[in-house]
Amino acid sequence: MIKIAIFGCCNQINNAKHIKQLFNLLKEKNANILIEKEFCDYLYNKFQLDIIENVIVDKNFEADFALSIGGDGTFLRAARFVADKNIPMIGINSGRLGFLADISLDGIAGALEKLWNKDYYIEERSLLEMHINGFENKYIKYGLNEIAILKQYNSSMITIHIDIDSNYLNTYEADGLIISTPTGSTAYSLSVGGPIIEPTSRNVVISPVAPHSLTTRPLVISDKYLLRIKVESRSESFQVSIDGNSYTLKPENTILVKKAPYKINVVKLNGHTFYDTLRDKLMWGVDKRF
């Protein structure tokens, strides 16, 4: 019996048909279902789905797969639950773009069939690990997409000093700086002009946000390095965000960023590649005349 831990976005009101189809198919396949408590309550209140065997209330659980229903944000939240458990993750996209959650709602039946028939492969995705002096154990330390150092909303640009290992790289005068994994290269980093990196690459992307100097450009480096970051701000504070979870820091806080000691395993169905996703999501090769 396959045990599946399910995480979902509590905004599925237009997807009732597909949600019910998913749970009916899992029931037909005799799957052992675990479900995130918040999502469980939502399904019961909105769709009267009372199909729960076990409810996930914390990170102490085991499963053969973790299934995310929502957008990439839901996938990232589910990844924090999976953490270092080595549980393969699969994402069903009921959100907008969906690079991580790349299975469509209409493709649920086919995806489950391939999952049960072991017609898939696993991609290992690297994470970033963040440490902040004077701020220990008060924040999420691991990010699958990116770590962003940003100015406060109403303040002027910030000054960001960054060293790679013991070597000085640059001082950025900018609205912020994004340190991205290959997975996150199609997220925030892409929106500020960063390059797209193949997701299993062993790289990190450093992308400035609205830099004061036009010669400052994104940089791709190996993920073997330790990054040390110090920030100066006229407002005496700035923000750090890790996969969308934001914290306010002071200039005396030093940020250390390195590759995490474990990876997230992402399920990819045979017959579909990262390059297919790029063409589907970014409309590469589409002739606008037709």
Please, which pLDDT band fits residue 184 given cuts at 50, 70 and 90? very high
Mean pLDDT lowest among 22-36, 41-55, 131-145: 41-55
- Residues with Cβ within 8 Å of residue 173, at least 6 apart in sequence: 157, 158, 159, 211, 212, 213
List pLDDT tens digits, range 220-231. Answer: 999 999 999 999
Catalytically annotated residues: 72
What residues does each domain of the chain span? 3-118, 127-261
Q: How far apart are CA 111 and CA 104, in angstroms?
A: 9
How large is the C-alpha radius of gyration of the chain? 20
pLDDT score of 214: 86
Q: Which CATH number fits domain 127-261: 3.40.50.300, 3.40.50.800, 2.60.200.30, 2.170.120.20?
A: 2.60.200.30
As beta bridge partners, residue 124 has 265
Phi, psi angles (nearest 5°) of residue 25: -65, -40
Same CATH topology for 3-118 and 127-261: the answer is no
Q: Is a pLDDT exceeding 90 seen at residue 173?
A: yes
Q: Is a pLDDT exceeding 70 seen at residue 236?
A: yes
Of 40 and 130, the one with more pLDDT: 130
Mean pLDDT lowest among 9-13, 99-103, 106-110: 9-13
Burial class, 198, CB count within 10 angstroms (exposed 0-12 / middle 13-18 / buried 19+):
exposed
Q: How far apart are CA 182 and CA 180, in angstroms?
A: 7
pLDDT, mean of residues 197-218: 95
Please, which pLDDT band fits residue 139 given cuts at 50, 70 and 90? confident
Class of the domain covering 3-118:
alpha beta
Q: Is a pLDDT exceeding 70 seen at residue 52?
A: no
Please, which pLDDT band fits residue 53 given cuts at 50, 70 and 90? low
pLDDT score of 51: 66
pLDDT, mean of residues 75-81: 92
User: pLDDT averaged over the chain?
Assistant: 91
Percent of the chain surpassing pLDDT 90:
65
Closest CA to 122 of 146, 72, 93, 87: 87
Q: Is a pLDDT exceeding 90 seen at residue 67?
A: yes
pLDDT, mean of residues 205-217: 94
pLDDT score of 130: 96
- How far lies 36's CA from each of 9, 54, 58, in Å? 10, 9, 9
Q: Is a pLDDT exceeding 80 seen at residue 153?
A: no
Closest CA to 108 of 7, 25, 1: 25
List pLDDT tens digits, range 110-131. Answer: 999 999 999 999 999 999 999 9
pLDDT, mean of residues 236-259: 95
pLDDT score of 253: 94
Q: Please state whether beta strands 120-132 and 103-104 pair in parallel, antiparallel, or not at all (unpaired).
A: unpaired
Q: How far apart are CA 109 and CA 119, in angstroms?
A: 13
- Residues with Cβ within 8 Å of residue 266, at least 6 apart in sequence: 88, 89, 90, 91, 100, 122, 123, 124, 125, 199
Segment of 31-35, 58-62, 64-68, 93-97 carrying the highest mean pLDDT: 64-68
Contact 248, 239 (CB under 8 A): yes
Phi, psi angles (nearest 5°) of residue 206: -110, 110
List pLDDT tens digits, range 261-288. Answer: 999 999 999 998 888 888 888 888 777 6
